Structures are given as structure tokens and as C-alpha cells.
Chains A and B, each alone.
Chain A
Amino acid sequence: MKKYQHDLIITANETLNNQYFLLKLTQSEPLPEMQPGQFVQLLIEDSAQTFLRRPISINFVDKAKNELWLLIQKVGNGTRKLAEYQVGRAINVLYPLGNSFSEPLPQQKILLVGGGVGTAPMLMLGASLKAKDIEPTFLLGARSAGDLLQLNEFEKYGRVLTTTEDGSQGEHGFVIQHSVLQNEQFDRICTCGPTPMMKAVAAYAAQRGIYCEVSLENTMACGIGACLCCVQDTVDGHRCVCTDGPVFDAKELKW
């Protein structure tokens, strides 16, 4: 897929809670085709502590409004600076980068598991599945109710199940402890979130013989396969998360 370097304009910067915000970007030309699982690299020009671009997974593409959505967690100086960006400002974006979640077979029962900011790519993936008449089950985990984001968006595309660590919403505990994993059988699982969560989900899938794709978030520099900084150890040796991933068949990973 061809990659682009565009100055995109902020149409909205919505604070979701004290940790998360949703950036919506557009341009006068139609946005290029993007696939669920892909990511962008944002240039942050006015933070002295931020030298490299920030890789952010694509949350959603609103084709009708020609908008790209990015769900961002305030982690460091770069993302905190982004949170302050005002509507109308331009951001230099490299996109779309990386591979995407693979196409499921028709009639498959699909579980999409997201934790924390890892729920972001699940929205676009869910929307693309729904467009193919596959209604996925979303299993979304967070610390507490206030950290479960975009639930009304997710509900447009499938059944939404939740867990919270403090029990304030959904089932109490981690996603891997949710009863649906014991009570139902899925054909395919896609997951993105903290590494311990993804490992647990991948182990569950392996145990039950379910095909499982995981989306990794290794720290990276270039995002286009040049620097070899973001490598993941796999059965085929070191592979770049930015170009061979971020989505991998869980069986290929050595972790």
C-alpha cells in the first residue's frame, strides 16, 4: 500500500477523560484507503522533549466526513502536547503504515479483545467486519468504568462485553477472566492491549485451538522499516513491527 506524508487538519480534539483524548483529522482531498490495524506517525513539532514521531493506531475512518480518528492516551510529553492541539491546526502525518488484521472466513464467530488504549484499533476492525455482515463480540477491559471508552460507538457494530479491575462496570477483573471465554466458543480472536493481557489471550486461544491475531506496540523510530528498532522476535527471527506488523499471528511470536 502506498504511504503518504500529508498535513492533516484537526477538526475535533475531544477530551474523553483525564487520560484519553480523541483527535479527528481531515484534508480537502479524500483520505487514502486505510485498513483496520494500520497506524500513523504524527510529527510533534513544539515539544523539546519529543524528537521522534509518535506512532498511533487508527481508531476509525469516517468516510462520509472524510475524517481519520485517533484515540490517544497521554503517556509522555509528546502525547500531552498533542492533547493541547486546537481545532484548525495542521499535523504532519505519515500514513497508512503497517499491515492489517487479516480477512476472516464468512460465518466465523469473532471475538475482539481490547485493553486500555488497545481498544482503539478494535473500533475500525469491528466496523469493517460489520460491513461484511459479520457481527463481532467486543470484549473491552479497563481499570474502571470511566476508562471504558467509545462504548456507544462499539455498540453500533456488535455485542459489547466489558470488564473493569475495580468492578465498577461489567464483570469484575481482567478481560481474560470474563465468563464469555468459558461459556462460548469463538473461531477467531483479535487482540490489542497491554502485553500481559495479549499473552494471556493468545494462551487461551492456543489452548482452545482458536486462530489469534495480536497487534503489537513496540517502540519505534521510523515506522517504515528502515531503522530496524521496533523488531519483535518471531519464529522467522527479528521482524519489524512497523512493516511486518503491527498485526501478527500469535503463533509466530516468541514471547
Chain B
Amino acid sequence: MADLSVNLNGLKLKNPVLTASGTFGYGFEYEDFIDISTLGGIIVKGTTRYHREGNPYPRMAETPAGMLNAVGLQNKGVDYFCEKIYPQLKSVDTSVIVNVSGSAIEDYVETAEKIAYLTHIPAIELNISCPNVKQGGMAFGTCSASAEEVIKAVRKVYPKHLMVKLSPNVTDIADIARAVEFAGADSVSLINTLLGMAIDAKTRRPVLSTITGGLSGACVKPVALRMVWQVAKAVHIPVVGLGGIMNATDAIEFFLAGASAVQIGTANFIDPSVTSKVIKGIDEYLDENGFSSVKDIVGALITDK
């Protein structure tokens, strides 16, 4: 039994397996399948300043080894979260992190400020990369200056752990990551979904109501691994890796590339108990390979010939 605990720049997790925002609801949806308190943490669905209905149906298209989504941050807003959801989450014995999204700096600031008051929420994950929000959610994460601007504004009102989720839809993700670190983030998570598109040749129409959407699932893993590796070399803050992790071996690859923790997203849709299998598999890998702690394999990629 290896030591699975990790400390992400002050954010202590019992193990390095988190659930990715938007794929795990508020955790309760999975309680029939797994004991959610055994997770390293739960990153609950994207929360915005105001209620959002999200995009019209159809919002999803299956692809080879993945899926496109265009949910559009459907949620009932931060006040509803604080009043109705948070009281139920307080008793969950793991770290519950809220993903915060917005379409203007004031939106991020007000949402983060309200969540800062919630004692049992040790961190927020700032989504500066969601490709579905037409009003400009995309812009913050695709340019160093605007990323810095929103993080600095949130940093002023949010004293706890600030994780920033990076968009892969950029020219140089290491550049953005450095700007995010400079602006005061405590950790970065990556990658968010890759912008994609699906067309129905029969009807000659787009499959998604929004035409384009976010690609996730097994197919994005090579891109995610590459970006985690690049970012881990570029910044000093911890990196949380995600993108196409379907099993423990995938997760271990992310640790080797430099991730200190991982998030499981789309895989939850295929196997609602995948997270517990990944935790078990990481433990077995460490034992079999003589590592006493998961920290020992973070960035342990062997590149010499």
C-alpha cells in the first residue's frame, strides 16, 4: 500500500484522483456506483454568476474514441449552489472543488467571492477555457494578457487555493501557463476540451446546435499528455492533468509527464465506477514498481537514450 496522498501547493488530497468538472454532476449522481468519499476530490459542475439554461439540444455527438459536447455551462447559478447544493456537499468526506466560469471579469469575481465564504470548499477551479460560451469565455484563456487580468481580479477576492483550467486551443500553452502562474494561480489543470465539429452528411447539417463543440475522451489523450509535459516544464506550480484518462495506466502516464494529480472526466460516462478502479490501479502500479509514494513518479519520465 503506497502513499497516495498529494499536496498541491497547500491543497491536501487523500489521493491524486479528482473528477473533472461537468462529467460528475455534484457527485450524488454517482453514489449508487461508488463511495464518492474515497475520491481524492470532486470538481463539481461549472458554476456561473447567474442561472444558465445552456445550449439547445442536440448538445452531444459521439466520435471515434470520444465525444463532442456543447452543453454550454447549464447550471442554476452561484446563489442556488450556495443555498441548495452546498449544504448537501458539506457532509461528503473529500475535497469538493467548485469550477467557476464566467463571461466577464465581474462574473468570475462575484462567483469566486461567494464561494470563498463556503468553509468546506477548499479550492476553486477557474475555467478560463470553456469553448462553448459565445460571450467570450474562450477569449480569457487564449491570450496571456486576458488570462492574467481575470486571474489577478479573482486572486484579490479569493484567498484559498486557486486552480486555473487551461484551454488547449492556443498556439503555445506553456506561454499561457507562465502568465497564469505569474498572475497568482496556485495550480493549473489541463486540458479542457479541444474545439471540434461534427457534420451529418445525410442531412448536410451540423450535428451540434452550436455547430462546434468540445472534444473529449480517449482520443484527446496524446494531445493532453504532450501539453501537460510542456506545461510541467514551464511552471513551478503543480500541474493537474486531464484529457482522455480511461484507466490507471493512462493516469500513470500523466504523472510521468509531470502531473501531480489527475482528473477523470468523460470516462465516468462509460464506467461510473472508473474512478475507484483508477485509484486501485495506481496503488498497484506503485507497489509493483517499488515506489512508496505517488509523488515519486511525478515527472519521472525517462528521456535519456
A residues contacting B by CB (< 8 A) are 2-5, 43, 48-53, 92, 94, 218-233, 237-238
Contacts and interface: CB of A to CB of B under 8 A. Distances in A.
Contacts, number: 91
Contacts of A223: 269
B60 A219 contact: yes
Contact of B62 (A51, A92, A222): A51
Report, nearest first, the 8 A-B pairs whose CB atoms are least far apart. Answer: A229-B60, A226-B25, A222-B269, A3-B32, A226-B29, A221-B269, A228-B71, A229-B59
Nearest to A225: B29
Given A226-B23, A231-B59, A5 B270 contact: no
Task: Output the residue of A2, A92, A231, A237 with the most chain B CB within 10 A.
Answer: A231
B209 to A, nearest CB: 11
A220 B57 contact: no
A228 B54 contact: yes
B33 A43 contact: no
Contacts of A224: 29-30, 272
B201 interface: no
Interface in B243-280: 266, 268-273
6 contacts: A5-B272, A52-B269, A218-B58, A219-B60, A221-B266, A225-B29
Given A222-B268, A226-B24, 7 more contacts: A50-B62, A51-B66, A51-B270, A52-B269, A224-B29, A227-B71, A233-B56
B67 interface: yes
Contacts of B266: 221
Contacts of B270: 43, 51-53
A2 B33 CA distance: 9
A222 B29 CA distance: 10
Interface of B: 22-25, 29-30, 32-33, 45, 53-54, 56-60, 62-67, 69, 71, 74, 217-218, 266, 268-273
Task: Output the residue of A3, A225, A226, A230 with the most chain B CB within 10 A.
Answer: A226
B63 A51 contact: yes
Nearest to B51: A237
Nearest to B71: A228
Contacts of A4: 32
B272 A237 contact: no
A225 B25 contact: yes
A19 B224 CA distance: 40
